């Protein structure tokens, strides 16, 4: 009898480095309770789609501009996820704020990684390099990453894991971003996928 695994969908918009961390973690056995079944992008040129194809993972592209409203876009996204029987949704650099209608439908089944120690440098407008720019501007000595559940408030859901990363003298937003990815995001996100997948498999 094959062991039941949670079906994971990863939502992406760009390069997909966090997606790659999840793919690698599944391959090396860090993620045992879940499997990436689908990668969805709102950008047809996202390199993340190439990463998914290279790993033999099914992909879907949904472009917001092809829908008359955000609601119609979300409905199509919901349909895509539900048709594939997705158990867990991972936001990995997905550049679309999801509405309460969407997050309520998948309550405690959507997780996101944010490149700071929430509640610092988070919320509306804080994404990508902007987070690290603000951290350096503030002069913090420690930053990090947070994996949290997603609700209707940007970066407002319950925290799952956090990991601190030292800010070094001479850091630029780019060097800090790279260190936070390598020392925190790429470790925490796969760990959270395993943790929540295990929980989902136990519940069912």
Just list the catalytic residues: 114
Q: How many C-alpha atoms does 17 have within 13 Å on its Cβ side? A: 11
E strand map for 153-204:
159-166
ω into 119 cis (within 30 of 0): yes
How many whole angstroms from its chain centre is CA 147? 8
What is the chain's alpha carbon radius of gyration, rounded to the nearest angstrom? 17
Whether 33 and 203 have beta carbons less than 8 Å apart is answered as no
């Amino acid at each position: 009898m094959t062991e039941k695994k949670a079906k994971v969908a990863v939502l992406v918009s760009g390069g997909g480095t966090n997606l790659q961390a999840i793919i690698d973690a599944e391959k090396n056995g860090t993620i045992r309770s879940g499997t990436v079944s689908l990668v969805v992008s709102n950008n047809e040129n996202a390199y993340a789609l190439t990463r998914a194809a290279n790993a033999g993972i099914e992909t879907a592209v949904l472009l917001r501009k092809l829908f008359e409203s955000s609601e119609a876009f979300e409905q199509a996204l919901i349909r895509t996820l539900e048709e594939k029987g997705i158990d867990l949704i991972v936001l990995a650099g997905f550049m679309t704020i999801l509405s309460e209608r969407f997050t309520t439908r998948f309550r405690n089944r959507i997780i996101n990684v944010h490149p700071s120690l929430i509640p610092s440098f988070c919320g509306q407008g804080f994404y990508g390099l902007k987070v690290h720019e603000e951290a350096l501007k503030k002069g913090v000595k420690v930053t990090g990453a947070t994996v949290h559940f997603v609700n209707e408030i940007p970066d407002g859901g319950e925290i799952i894991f956090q990991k601190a990363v030292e800010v070094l003298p001479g850091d630029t937003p780019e060097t800090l971003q790279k260190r936070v990815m390598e020392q925190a995001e790429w470790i925490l996100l796969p760990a959270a996928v395993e943790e929540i997948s295990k929980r989902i498999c136990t519940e069912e």
